[in-house]
Structure 1
Amino acid sequence: MPAKKPRGLNSPQTERIIKAMSQSTAWLYKKTGGRIGGKFLQGAPVALLTTIGRKTGQPRVSPLLFLRDGNRVVLVASKAGADTHPMWYLNLKANPQVSVQIKDEVLDLTARDATEEERIRYWPRLVEMYSSFADYQSWTDRVIPVVICDP
């Protein structure tokens, strides 16, 4: 049974809290090469995604859970089950050239939405890695995007 949707999930206050936590996690991750901030709940691995802001043209860094499949990095645009897509996802839709930092390794990749076949293949692995993804999907009417980042 899915967890109950948190009150205030879609509030501006929650948005500000998530942004502040993301910024501090990204700072610590960069300073320590991922030794701090490199794991999330349930031991899920964290990487830093850098996109180019679609309005500002400035680099935007987001700590995200990821799945590695060979040279491919798979991301989930969950925004913790909120009703809107995360800003990083909107940014990569505008400019798919991204970089992903995993510990000390930085990969220059091209991002795109997973095909339906890829989504079917990766979603169970993503939920196995971080079971809350299933709860997040149950909390929103939007289909949470799975993002494929390839060299």
Structure 2
Amino acid sequence: MSVEGRAKVPRLPPRWFIRTAWFVHRRLYRLFGARFALWRPGKGKWGTLRLTTTGRRTGRQRSVVLGYFEDGPDLVTLAMNGWGEGEPAWWLNLQAQPDAFVDLVDARRPVRGRAATGEERARLWARWREVQADLDAFAGLRPTETAVVVLEPRTDTPPGP
């Protein structure tokens, strides 16, 4: 096979770098709030939100900053674990207790998380592909399928920060 015919394998930074980047991002959120650490998705770009889940073992609140896009009233993210092996802890927590909260640039919302399946998953994956051209190549680095997570709005009132 010629060089042009080979699938281009994306290069990821070392795992420690990815984890450090997200750690710094969480610290920025703690120091400056949503103003600097969170942003809305734009045309062809993803945004960031802060998801707070309930720990499946501890029952404590756990927060993580994630990329997302909007699909009507729903927020859509990927359970990618930095494109590494295994499921991210926040996704395991959300599967055990689907009710959670998201902080956006200007609001806190109660949400219920679930995995997209079937045609919905295919449609949302295609939307992610519009934002991240190498999505399929990055997903190919994982030994298991990457869950497309839908965060649907709930009607209860969110607690304070």
Q: Give me the TM-score of the superposition, normalised by structure 1.
A: 0.82
Q: Structure 1: 5+ residue runs without aligned partners?
A: 9-13
The residue aligned with 2:59 is: 57
Give 1:128's match in structure 2, choosing from 103, 108, 130.
Answer: 130
Residue identity opposite 1:123 in structure 2: W
Asked if the contact 2:10–2:138 (Cα under 8 Å) also holds between the matched residues in 1, the reply is no
The match for 1:91 among 87, 90, 93 is 93
Structure 2: gaps (5+ residues): 1-6, 154-161
Shift in CA distance, 27/132, structure 1 to aligned 2, threshold 3 Å: farther
Name the residue aligned to 1:79. Answer: 81
Q: Could you tell me which of 148, 151, 156 is aligned with 1:149?
A: 151
Q: Is the 8 A contact 1:92 1:98 kept in 2?
A: yes
Change (3 A) 1:31 1:105: farther
2:113–2:149 contact (8 Å) kept in structure 1: yes
Pair 105,79 (structure 1): closer, same or farther in 2 beyond 3 Å: same
Alignment pair present for 1:3 and 2:9: yes
Structure 1 residue 64 displacement after superposition: 0.6
Letter in 2 for 1:99: F
Shift of 1:78: 1.0
Question: Contact 1:5 / 1:139 at 8 angstroms: preserved in 2?
Answer: no
Aligned to 2:27: 27
Any conservation in 1 of the 2:79–2:149 contact (CA below 8 Å)?
Answer: yes
Moved more, 134-143 or 83-92: 134-143
Q: Which moved more, 1:130-139 or 1:53-62?
A: 130-139
Mark the CA change 1:96 to 1:2 in structure 2 (over 3 Å): closer, same or farther: farther
Q: Tell which structure's C-alpha radius of gyration is larger.
A: 2
Q: How many residues align?
A: 144
Question: 1:67-119 CA distances to partner (integer Å, 9 max, x unpaired)?
Answer: 11221111100112212111111110111011111112111010011021111
Cα RMSD, aligned residues only: 2.4
Report the identity percentage.
28
